[in-house]
Amino acid sequence: MKLNADGLALLKHFESCLKPTSRGTFEAYPDPGYGWNVATIGWGTVQYENGAKVKHGDEITQARADELLEWEINEKIFGKKGKTPEDDIPGVVDLVKVPLTENQASALIVFAYNVGIFALKRSTLLRKLNAKDYAGAAAQFGVWNKSNGKVLKGLIRRRAAERALFEK
């Protein structure tokens, strides 16, 4: 399982690094749904590899944003082993029990990148997919259009694009 070029382009379109500062760095910015309660940086990063949360005032270079993107994609695909089995975080590869096309896998990775692996794990989307109801799973992308209880136009567009990739 991997993120293909179409999936990466989709992810970067919706998780854009914003405009660099005059110093050529990228500053943390508030999440559209949660504001500064969920500070974000680079390609949608909210937490660094060491577990520290992104905070207001953080700055990174483009190279660092790209490193974090690669780390997060790999974590979403393959998961992360914790110190104990209870600390393990599954990846998309662990959760999906049915065959996927490259585009279906990429759409799920992009979706999990945004909503988080635990949201995917508990979702009707995954339940339908694992029951081999591919059409039902595709229809579930549009359900995920809210952040902090508010429907966001950007999420409506994003979910439509993820569904289109899934069905391609």
Question: What are the catalytic residues?
Answer: 15
Q: How far is CA 32 from CA 91, 118, 139, 151, in A?
A: 25, 20, 24, 11
Kindly compute the dihedral angle of the four CA atoms of residues 106, 79, 34, 138, in this order, to the nearest 10 degrees.
30
Cα angle vertex 7, ends 6, 10, to 5°?
Answer: 85
Beta strand residue intervals within 76-126, DSSP E: none
**Helix pair 153-167, 5-14: axis angle to 10 deg:** 180
Which residues are within 8 A (CB) of 54 and not within 5 positions of it... i.e. 6 or more apart? 28, 39, 40, 41, 45, 46, 47, 48
